[in-house]
Amino acid sequence: MTQDQNAINPMLLSPEVQRWIRTTRASLDEIAFAPLPFEGLSRQELIQQVEGYRKAVDKLPRWGAQPGLLFPVKLSLEQCSSEATARYKAQVIKNNLEFHPKEIADLTGGFGVDAYALAQSGARVHHFELDESLSNLVAHNMRKLKAEVLCHHADGVKGLLELKLPVDLIYLDPARRDAQKNKVFRLEDCRPDILFHLEDLLAKSPYVLLKTSPMLDLHLGLTQLKWVREIHVVAVNNEVKEVLWLISRSAGQEDKTLPPRDLTDNKNPKVYAVNLSDEPWAEDSSAVQKNIIFDFIWNQPESNLYSTPLAYIFEPNGPLRKIGQYAALTQRFPILRIGPNAHLFTAEQWMDFPGRIFEVLDKWPFAKSEMKRFKGQKYNITTRDFPQTVAHIRATWQIKDGGQEYLFFTTDARGIKWIILCRKATQYPKI
């Protein structure tokens, strides 16, 4: 009698095999050609677990440290959320809903990282996964993690509609690859097609939390999704990883103590620019502190107050640049814009700003005669609203990459092009 190919091989769970998976220093190529160290385990099974464990140690350090967990094929690990972004989703659920969901449906379960994090919000999570072997693996891991996650081997949308249970929140992360395995990011090209199913999902649950690619245009997404209540642009170490959309057609209706809100065709949702660290989070989520989350309302009037470069230059972080709306920055900080398209700000004083802060050492209107002073030297270079690329500037003036000083090339509101010599500002400027 042969073992079901979708069932978990019990040999993988033996202490000896688990210890070997986590301690072997053999490369994957060596494992592929060396004699098999255990009977009853295929070479493919061993390679999958060793490769998965090594990836998890970096991407999911707490999971990597948990004995007895099993790991899926490489693609499933590559596509899953990191620990930091998964925990942030749990924070969205805890902090931003008018109620505490008791039942959550994850329609695109995958390796279950998001499902596990969502369960930490205090809800029971229904994990839907069409791949039976992956569903079985996740069910095993959730038992090991003691997580309130029920695994269903089923298509997420169909399984949800057949679920005889009220659902307080639906989460989904549509697959962003087409039939030819090419990457896609438009909503209508992902699977499941959220635009096609959104009405049915909102009929099943008052809230939908959607994860999309950072490549998706926010203006287009806001138009297509119609009932967006919140947008969370989430970065890790200043690199935007994902965009979360909290969608509700009747937010506040389930809490009779709150006034009803009609969010039909809402064009002014709350926006969160989130910049997380990949350091392990504290259990109380104390990593979510000032300047890590910057929130504002979409589509506020932009400031028309400009200045040439002053004593400090402020460059918004990656999430704010992705969002591209800077009115809240000029409203909240005493800063001035350098130019309408530069997305750089300036002020005479240092301030605690959500982004990089530079002290201006000198500045010159752009000219060949001024550029000669930098020839053959070493600088970090950034261009903002400037006709020449970084590569062109480096090649023309033989400027090497690196060093402690920065050159910003930009254009101000009067059309004057500037060279700004800077260094990163210390946390507190000298008095």
pLDDT: which is higher, 248 or 288: 248
Residue 285 has pLDDT above 50, yes or no: no
pLDDT in tens, 96-107: 666 688 999 999
Other beta carbons less than 10 A from residue 338's beta carbon: 27
Give residue 260's pLDDT.
45
* Predicted local distance difference test score (pLDDT) of residue 106: 97
DSSP state of 182: -
Average pLDDT, the chain: 89
Which residues lie closer than 8 Å to 10 by C-beta, 6 or more apart? none
Element (H, E) at 54: helix 43-59
* Helix spans in 80-186 (H): 83-96, 113-119, 132-145, 156-162
Q: What percent of the chain has pLDDT over 70?
A: 89
- Residue labelled with tokens 């089923």: 154
Q: Which CATH topology does 80-297 take? A: Rossmann fold (3.40.50)
- Decide if pLDDT at 91 tops 60: yes
Structure-model confidence comparison of residues 62 and 430, the more confident one: 62
pTM exceeding 0.85: yes
pLDDT (tens digit, 9 = 90+) per residue, 169-193?
Answer: 999 999 887 666 677 778 888 899 9
Contact 11, 40 (CB under 8 A): yes
What is the rounded CA–CA span in Å between residue 187 and residue 225?
9
Better-scored residue on pLDDT, 423 or 162 = 423
Range 10-71: architecture per CATH: Orthogonal Bundle (1.10)
State the first-to-last Cα distance of the chain, in angstroms, to the nearest integer.
Answer: 80
Per the CB < 8 A criterion, the answer to whether 17 and 38 are in contact is yes
Please check the confidence at residue 253 and state whether its pLDDT lies above 50. Answer: no
Helices (H) then strands (E): counts for the chain: 15, 16
- pLDDT score recorded for residue 117: 96
Per-residue confidence (pLDDT) for residue 431, from 0 to 100 = 45
- For the stretch 343-389, pLDDT in tens is 999 999 999 999 999 999 999 999 999 999 999 999 999 999 999 99
Q: How many CA atoms lie within 13 A of 288 on its CB side?
A: 21
CA atoms of 344 and 369, how far apart (whole Å): 25
Asked whether the predicted pLDDT for residue 128 surpasses 70, the reply is yes
Q: How many CA atoms lie within 13 A of 6 on its CB side?
A: 11
pLDDT of residue 98: 67
Render 232-266 in DSSP notation, one character per residue: EEEEETTEEEEEEEEE-SSTTTT-TTSPP---TT-
User: Over 70: is that where the pLDDT of 423 sits?
Assistant: yes
Q: What is the pLDDT of residue 39?
A: 92
